[in-house]
Amino acid sequence: MLRNLSFTDRILSHLDNALKTLTPGAVHAAHPSPGRDREAPSLESDDQRHIAGLMRINHTGEVCAQALYQGQALTARLPDVRESMEQAADEELDHLAWCEQRLNELGSRTSLLNPVFYFTSYSLGAVAGLAGDRWSLGFVAATEDQVSQHLNDHLEQIQDRDPRSRAILERMLEDEQRHAHNALAAGGQAFPEPVKRLMTGVSKLMTKSVYRV
């Protein structure tokens, strides 16, 4: 079980996760893509580039989620909290694989900036874990709220033009909202609005850079 691993074993496990997360094609979903049975329409070139940019943002968001959960799991004080972080990271691997698969179908690629965002997010997660499990769980909830905002915005932009991408994002939104709810229900501290606004500003910088790069 994860709770029986030594600190060194967890570090090695996290390094393995980082390599897998950042290597194109290395992550395989445990469940089939929600968009597998949906129509893959013939898109105009501008629409295809735009939707690919949105899916690249969502893929990088999942890269950040992997790193945050792993960093928090490293420094979580309670074994149950650590294990729940590891489990959530495993669930998010499906999202990572689905986004990459759809990017490939759209003739695009993942972001070249993913390594930077991974290790930045891992550090933030570790710091959140050091602050205490209540704050760490609260950070999960606040982060998932940010991701949900992006997903809602992207669904609004895509609408019915790309049913396959839309099905993926709808399932991701459902999972992210559940993770946020579970984190607060487990005793997470709700973040104050000024902190949430700061997180929104940081996330906007990420989306603008990842959209094209």
Q: Is 132 exposed, middle or buried (0-12, 13-18, 19+ CB in 10 A)?
A: middle
Q: Inform me whether the pLDDT recorded for 155 exceeds 90.
A: yes
Q: Let me know: does 134 contact 189? Beta carbons within 8 Å.
A: yes
Average of per-residue pLDDT values in the chain: 85
pLDDT band at 128; cut points 50, 70, 90: confident
Q: Inform me whether the pLDDT recorded for 140 exceeds 50.
A: yes
Place of tokens 């550090």: 123
95 in a labelled binding site = yes
Quote the pLDDT of residue 2. Answer: 46
The more confidently predicted of residues 2 and 38 is: 38
**What is the C-alpha separation between 206 and 190, in angstroms, rounded?**
23
**What is the C-alpha separation between 200 and 108, in angstroms, rounded?**
26
Q: Inform me whether the pLDDT recorded for 25 exceeds 70.
A: yes
Going by the DSSP 8-state scheme, the letter that residue 211 receives in this structure is T
193 in a labelled binding site = no
Quote the pLDDT of residue 180. Answer: 86
Quote the pLDDT of residue 78. Answer: 65
39 in a labelled binding site = no
Q: Measure Cα distances from 99 to 4, 69, 126 in Å.
A: 33, 19, 26
Catalogue all structural domains in the chain, each as residue range(s) with its CATH number: 2-21+44-210 (1.20.1260.10)
Least confident residue range of 9-13, 93-97, 145-149: 9-13
Quote the pLDDT of residue 82. Answer: 65
Quote the pLDDT of residue 81. Answer: 67
The more confidently predicted of residues 81 and 109 is: 109
- Reported as a single tens digit per residue, the pLDDT across 61-99 is 999 888 888 887 777 666 766 676 667 777 788 999 999
Quote the pLDDT of residue 145. Answer: 85
To the nearest whole percent, how much of the chain has pLDDT over 90?
A: 33
